[in-house]
Amino acid sequence: MKIISNAFEHNSMIPPKYTCDGQNINPSLEISGAPENTKSLVLIVDDPDAPMGTWIHWTIWNIEPKTNVIAENSCPGGAVEGMTSFGRTGYGGPCPPSGTHRYFFKIFALDSILDLTSNAYIRELEHAMQNHIIDHAEVIGLYKRSSQL
């Protein structure tokens, strides 16, 4: 299984357009190689370098398993966006308080569809995913705010 973005290379800088310094919209993501028995996909975008612990920037679950593109500034139809560390659903772009942070765009193939509402936080999502992950992949982007350069 593989996830890439045409907006940035693995382990390279995310363009400001996709951050709090720009339009704060999600970059496009391409997904390939999901196993045949996949019932749904889950996307988690997080920043493990946040000073208060891992910061959740975006969660989406029940993505149709045949989805091969999540377009820029969009959520796949029929999928559910969960709560982020910003206290709301939807994408919240990189906005590190200091230094360069890593942003993990993680895709998971599950053997089930999740029964969660959009007010679910990462703990509930991870609990629901337990024992259902059949494959996963990630791409990492980096970001440092221009005001810190």
pLDDT tops 90 at residue 148:
no
CATH number of the structural domain spanning residue 31? 3.90.280.10
Average pLDDT over every residue of 117-142: 97
pLDDT class for 149, splitting at 50, 70, 90?
Answer: very low
> What domain range includes position 81?
2-148
Q: What token pair was written down for 33?
A: 């190689």
What pLDDT does 147 receive?
64
Sheet holding 29-32, edge to edge: 2-4, 29-32, 69-70
Number of CB atoms found within 10 A of residue 120's CB: 20
Distance CA 35, CA 70 (A): 18
Q: Mean pLDDT, the chain, as a whole number?
A: 96
pLDDT at position 146 is: 77
- Give the number of domains in the chain: 1
| Residue 125 confidence (pLDDT) above 70 | yes
User: Rounded to 5 degrees, what are φ and ψ at 114?
Assistant: -90, 140
- Interval 59-93: pLDDT, tens: 999 999 999 999 999 999 999 999 999 999 999 99
Please tell me which residue, 85 or 147, carries the higher pLDDT value. 85
When pLDDT is averaged across residues 14-28 and rounded to a whole number, the result is 97
For residue 52, is pLDDT > 60?
A: yes
